[in-house]
């Protein structure tokens, strides 16, 4: 498909590309349920997009999901317009769903972090060094799970007093360097010491079959660790470890939003600023301390 080829040429990460194609398949399934004729970009109309948007809202889809799927259709519409298939840009006026972002993302408490690390370090079948290093690295750097999957041994610098990660394929294919603190360096070194004759071109994290560890395997490993840690207060995923790093960084370094954005690989400070918003726990504590909180 020509549109798929145009996406492949764009400056998109592999995960973003897969996400757009998945979202377009969802739209096509919905469209097939309404019309017998097969879909073609020439027939895309503003009404289709508005009806699809209303369908997702009525189905209770999250605003982030709806907006992501609409963005995939915007790209399709803009491509069809630039290719001459559509005489007008039908996607221009389709509104995004407003997102209520008045709360910060959920992270792990210190006690939960210790529990997850204990569970990772107790992994069976010889996976304890790998799982401990994996969880510790994500907690100490906040890098994305997709960035972890592309790391090679040569991307890691481990010295006695310093260390760093070279992220070659960040979001939008942008590279950056992330410092490694002593805690992360010790965990990664202990894991690499279990691998004989390691080369710089090898993946940093290997699966149980000694092949590169893909994103899904990393997510599954973290999910398994979390289950064994019995952490139930909030849903925990690989991205929760990134949130935990960000929240902990601002707690220890108040006001350093630009520095945090650099570490996380954010292009806009607006994205990073979500970590400065109050949590439900913060609001509850403020109310408990309120001078109006008195018994009559």
- The residues annotated as belonging to the active site are 144, 171, 239, 242, 266, 275
d(CA 113, CA 135): 10
Beta-strand ranges (E) seen in the chain are 156-158, 163-167, 176-179
Convert 20-44 into a string of H (helix), E (strand) and C (coil).
HHHHHHHHHHHHHCCCCCCCCHHHC
Q: How distant is the alpha carbon of residue 38 from its chain centre?
A: 34
d(CA 155, CA 152): 5
**Does residue 212 sit in helix, strand or coil?**
strand
Do 194 and 92 contact (CB within 8 A), yes or no? no
Q: Which two tokens stand for residue 172?
A: 């939008």
């Amino acid at each position: 498909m020509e549109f798929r080829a145009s996406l492949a040429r764009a400056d998109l990460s592999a995960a973003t590309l897969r996400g757009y194609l998945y979202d377009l398949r969802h739209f096509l399934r919905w469209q097939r349920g309404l019309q017998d004729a097969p879909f073609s970009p020439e027939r895309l109309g503003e009404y289709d997009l508005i009806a699809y948007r209303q369908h997702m809202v009525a189905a209770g889809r999250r605003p982030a999901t709806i907006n992501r799927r609409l963005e995939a259709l915007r790209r399709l519409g803009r491509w069809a317009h630039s290719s001459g298939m559509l005489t007008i840009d039908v996607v221009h006026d389709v509104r995004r769903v407003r997102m209520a972002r008045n709360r910060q993302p959920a992270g792990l408490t210190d006690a939960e972090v210790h529990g997850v690390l204990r569970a990772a370090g107790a992994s069976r079948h010889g996976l304890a060094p790998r799982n401990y290093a994996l969880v510790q690295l994500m907690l100490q750097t906040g890098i994305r799970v997709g960035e972890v999957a592309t790391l090679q041994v040569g991307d890691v610098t481990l010295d006695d007093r310093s260390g760093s990660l070279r992220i070659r394929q960040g979001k939008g294919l942008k590279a950056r360097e992330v410092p490694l603190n002593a805690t992360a360096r010790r965990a990664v070194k202990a894991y690499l010491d279990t691998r004989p004759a390691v080369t710089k071109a090898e993946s940093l994290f290997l699966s149980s079959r000694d092949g590169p560890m893909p994103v899904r395997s990393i997510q599954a490993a973290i999910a398994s660790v979390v289950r064994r840690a019995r952490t139930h207060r909030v849903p925990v995923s690989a991205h929760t470890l990134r949130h935990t790093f960000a929240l902990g960084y601002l707690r220890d370094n108040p006001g350093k939003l630009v520095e945090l954005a650099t570490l996380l690989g954010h292009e806009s400070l607006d994205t990073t600023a979500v970590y400065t918003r109050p949590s439900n726990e913060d609001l509850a504590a403020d109310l408990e301390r309120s001078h109006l909180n008195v018994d009559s």
